[in-house]
Amino acid sequence: MVSKICIFASFRTAKVRKKVKSEKLIVKNYLFFVAFFRFKQKKHYFCSMNSSFTPQLEQWYEAYGRDLPWRRTRDPYLIMLSEYILQQTQVVQGMDYYHRFAERFPTAESLAEASEEEVLRLWQGLGYYSRARHLHAAAKQIAEAGHFPRDYGFVRALPGVGDYTAAAIMSFAFDEPYAVLDGNVQRVLARHFGISEPVDSTQGKKLLRALANEMLDRQHPALYNQAIMDFGALQCKPSAPACETCPLVETCQAKRDHLVDKLPVKAKRTAVRDRYFTYIYTRTADGQTLLHRRGSGDIWQGLFEFPLIESEKPLTMAEIEGLLPSGEAGGELQLIAQNVLHQLTHQRLHADFYCLTLPNTNSKWTDNKWINESDLDRYALPRLLEKLLEKL
């Protein structure tokens, strides 16, 4: 048995070594190609560009890096919490959510014991609710394990955790040498090393992954990862990067070749689908309103919303009146807001918002239930509905 494990372990080690070797080869080939090209142009400054990159980034970070609450801890659960929140969310917007979650659920066990409804309620307004469900499921797995394992395989297999989040948790919490590669890092590497391969192509991803691993400071992975991420967010920004004060300006290929606004290159454009939602905020004179919970297989799973009519195009008031269940006909329908746009990653929602006042609760809307309007804030609503309610 032991020998079997040893053979397996040495096989894995050999595999890992082979992978690292092939990554190094990709970077070496690339660097050789660029160096050769530069040499031909009598501009062979590539070696200094390569060796000074990491120390200069770290020096910059010591002076200008952000002081963020999740960087003051090595608690892997709190670091994981911040990473789930920061997926698709800016630091400024996520800060308040980090504090409220860390305060309400200071440990993975406390989060694991909460109901999904409470977790979604606390997440309300942050969007991309699948992150909250994944975070909740991850907390349950950690609680089940009895502790937060220092194991890349375990972390990478948690729901909602990809290569980036796993590398961030392992390096920030345990100082394990895993290089992060998010949009900020891709941009810095593509510009500084003049990579024109599309960052979303197979070749571009391979090259950037290899380059990220090559540049990683293996003695101080947390410091390096934080440095390059902050550098991308604050200095080498998507638009109007601060090249005039950049410590890497001397070795930056994009700057030298006037390609700063061209890099990084993206091959694919994400197709965006338009959807038309008409919400009927149905209420009675004695303060009752209708609500239902969204099911699975679509956006906002598990969140609550008012009766909804989805259509291929915007509806007129006459069309809406024709679609109301018979019990609602005769109620007073009033337009509150029209064509309110709400952008999701792959969808653009066009929402109309109507208020329907009824004399009583004899509603025929299926799957909706009557609740007291005063209890509305106990239900997790999508951000779009919060926006619409502000228009009342």
Instruction: Kindly tell me which of 131 and 255 has the beta carbon lying closer to ligand SF4.
Output: 255
Give the span between the Cα atoms of 47 and 34, in whole angstroms.
10
Task: Name 12's Cβ contacts closer than 8 Å, sequence gap at least 6.
Answer: none
Report, in Å, the least distance between residue 246 CB and ligand SF4.
3
Quick one: tokens of 4? 């079997």
Site string for ligand SF4, 163-192 (x = CB under 6 A): ----------------------------xx
Task: Name 242's Cβ contacts closer than 8 Å, sequence gap at least 6.
Answer: 235, 236
* Strand partners of residue 276: 311, 350
Residue type at 57 in one-letter notation: L
Q: Which residue in 76, 204, 241, 264 binds ligand SF4 (CB under 6 A)?
A: 241
Q: Is position 255 an interface residue for ligand SF4 (rule: CB under 6 A)? A: yes
Give the span between the Cα atoms of 306 and 303, in whole angstroms.
11
248, 254 contact by CB (below 8 A): no
Report, in Å, the least distance between residue 236 CB and ligand SF4.
3
Instruction: Kindly tell me which of 78 and 236 has the beta carbon lying closer to ligand SF4.
Output: 236
Residue type at 359 in one-letter notation: P
| Binding residues for ligand SF4 restricted to 56-115, rule: CB under 6 A | none
Neighbours of 122 (CB within 10 A): 19
Q: Is position 212 an interface residue for ligand SF4 (rule: CB under 6 A)? A: no
- Asked about 113 being catalytic, the answer comes back as no
Which candidate in 83, 176, 197, 214 is catalytic? Answer: 83
Ramachandran angles phi, psi of 320, nearest 5° = -65, -45
Residue with tokens 């009675």: 284
Burial of 187 per CB tally in 10 Å (0-12, 13-18, 19+):
buried
Report, in Å, the least distance between residue 377 CB and ligand SF4.
44
Q: Is position 243 an interface residue for ligand SF4 (rule: CB under 6 A)? A: yes
Instruction: Kindly tell me which of 82 and 253 has the beta carbon lying closer to ligand SF4.
Output: 253
- Tell me the number of residues near ligand SF4 by CB under 6 A: 14
Radius of gyration for the alpha carbons in the chain, expressed in angstroms and rounded: 26
Q: Which residue in 142, 185, 208, 246 binds ligand SF4 (CB under 6 A)?
A: 246
Query: By three-state DSSP, how is residue 244 classified?
Result: helix
What is residue 370's DSSP assignment? E
Report, in Å, the least distance between residue 28 CB and ligand SF4.
22
What is residue 359's DSSP assignment? S
Q: Is position 131 an interface residue for ligand SF4 (rule: CB under 6 A)? A: no
Instruction: Kindly tell me which of 57 and 161 has the beta carbon lying closer to ligand SF4.
Output: 57
**Comparing C-alpha atoms, which of 341, 362, 336 is closest to residue 351?**
341
Instruction: Kindly tell me which of 221 and 241 has the beta carbon lying closer to ligand SF4.
Output: 241
Q: Is position 233 an interface residue for ligand SF4 (rule: CB under 6 A)? A: no
| Binding span for ligand SF4 by CB under 6 A among 168-176, 218-226, 235-243, 370-378 | 235-243
Q: Is position 228 an interface residue for ligand SF4 (rule: CB under 6 A)? A: no
Residue type at 136 in one-letter notation: H
Q: Is position 260 an interface residue for ligand SF4 (rule: CB under 6 A)? A: yes
**Comparing C-alpha atoms, which of 154, 150, 179, 153 is closest to residue 164?**
179
Q: How far is CA 358 from the centre of its chain?
A: 41
| Binding residues for ligand SF4 restricted to 312-341, rule: CB under 6 A | none
Residue type at 183 in one-letter notation: G
Q: Which residue in 135, 223, 233, 252 binds ligand SF4 (CB under 6 A)?
A: 252
Report, in Å, the least distance between residue 210 CB and ligand SF4.
19
Quick one: tokens of 368? 């909706």
Q: Which residue in 119, 185, 228, 254 binds ligand SF4 (CB under 6 A)?
A: 254
| Binding span for ligand SF4 by CB under 6 A among 158-166, 246-254, 364-372, 373-381 | 246-254
Q: Which helix (H) or strand (E) holds 353?
A: strand 347-358
Q: Is position 38 an interface residue for ligand SF4 (rule: CB under 6 A)? A: no
Task: Name the residues that contact ligand SF4, by CB under 6 A.
Answer: 191-192, 235-236, 241-243, 246, 248-249, 252, 254-255, 260
Instruction: Report, as residue numbers or ranges, the catalytic residues.
Output: 83
